[in-house]
Amino acid sequence: MYIENNLTRTQLSNWLILMFILVSLMIIIGGLTRLTDSGLSITKWELFSGTFPPLSNEKWIKYFEEYKLIPEFKIQNYTMTMNEFKVIFWWEWGHRFLGRVIGLCFLLPLIFFTLKIGIKKLINFYIIFLLICFQGLIGWYMVSSGLINKVDVSHFRLSLHLVVAFLILSLILWNYLKLNIKQNHQVKLNSIIPYILLTLIFLQIIIGAFVSGMDAGLVYNSWPLMGNTYFPDDNKFINLFELSAFSDASLVQFLHRNLAYIILIFYVFTLLKVYKDRITKSYLAINIVGILLLIQIILGILTLISGAQIVLASMHQISSIFLVSSTIYFLYLNKKTNLFFVRES
């Protein structure tokens, strides 16, 4: 994206930086909400009425009584006190409140820039806003799956919620790069290679959400073997090729582990290709991707052997934000053309 007016470009850039920070924070808080089993503490959507937290004892009692009606309380948390309930409530309320903040922080500047440079030049930003709105619906769709007959949300819906969050984050970063980094005519890596790398990382995010949603990280807490064997001994290899594998905790953990190895191998191939073809403009980017990938794998292993200790698990998710962002940057540097090329006279 190219905008000749420097002030407008600076304003857009600052706005996108703010949104990137807010969405990153949203992913982190969302992860902690899941890790603390707080996601079902508010049993109604409350798009507007839930903006403010309970301000009276009667309100707290109302929320707690509603929580007592769902399976998570009846089966798992039946001894929970009001003070314990308040802890999980604040995590979920904070997550939802930040979602509202993100919506407003995107919509109001979007209106401002639309009046300034026109809607046709900002179509890609409207797409991001629609995704943000859609994300709110997905969030409730996810929560609703854990309110009846289950003590947890659907891991499929959880993965959809997380992937859309990373998609929003990636589009925000992509548009920031288009505003601030001009395309050059230097020799570039075949763009299909960074696309494959990014696709593999997104696929890993999906499987990682399965692991989180099913608490599959608690099944085998050893590495590099799963117990005493490479393949989990409570399963059969043929089961990997059935759809039910995505709902089997030990198989999901096996897939998550081995996809990490595949990503690492493909990264090494990409690294060698970049240096072999002497694509100097991509040296820094591909090295950063490699460092972050190693950090991500190490944190994943530590999270696993610790039994999904909450600090390590959260750091594992935080590092995924940096990994995706660096891969987006690497992809951008090797993109042949800009999809959105905006001029302002």
| pLDDT confidence of residue 151 | 84
Instruction: Indicate whether 2 pLDDT > 70.
Output: no
Name the H helices within the chain. 6-35, 57-67, 71, 82-117, 123-144, 155-180, 192-213, 249-276, 283-305, 310-333
Confidence of residue 337 (pLDDT cuts 50, 70, 90): low
> 284-327 pLDDT, tens per residue?
999 999 999 999 999 999 999 999 899 999 999 999 999 999 99
More confident residue, 206 or 227: 206
Half-sphere exposure of 93 (CA within 13 A, CB side): 14
Instruction: Indicate whether 187 pLDDT > 70.
Output: yes
How much is the pTM?
0.92
Overall average pLDDT of the 23-44 stretch? 94
Instruction: Indicate whether 338 pLDDT > 80.
Output: no
> 70-104 pLDDT, tens per residue?
999 999 999 999 999 999 999 999 999 999 999 99
Torsion sign across C-alpha atoms 57, 58, 63, 66:
positive
| pLDDT confidence of residue 4 | 65
| pLDDT confidence of residue 148 | 87
| pLDDT confidence of residue 3 | 64
Q: Long-range pairs for 199-205 at CB < 8 Å and ≥24 separation?
A: 200/259, 200/262, 200/263, 200/266, 201/263, 201/320, 201/323, 201/324, 201/327, 202/163, 202/166, 202/324, 203/259, 204/256, 204/259, 204/260, 204/263, 205/159, 205/162, 205/163, 205/166, 205/320, 205/324
| pLDDT confidence of residue 6 | 83
Q: What is the residue extent of each domain of the chain? A: 1-182, 184-340
| pLDDT confidence of residue 342 | 39
Q: What value does the mean pLDDT of the chain take? A: 92
Instruction: Indicate whether 247 pLDDT > 80.
Output: yes
Residues of the chain above pLDDT 70, percent: 95
Pick left, alpha or beta for residue 308 (phi over 0 → left; psi -120 to 50 → alpha; otherwise beta).
Answer: left
Overall average pLDDT of the 270-285 stretch? 94
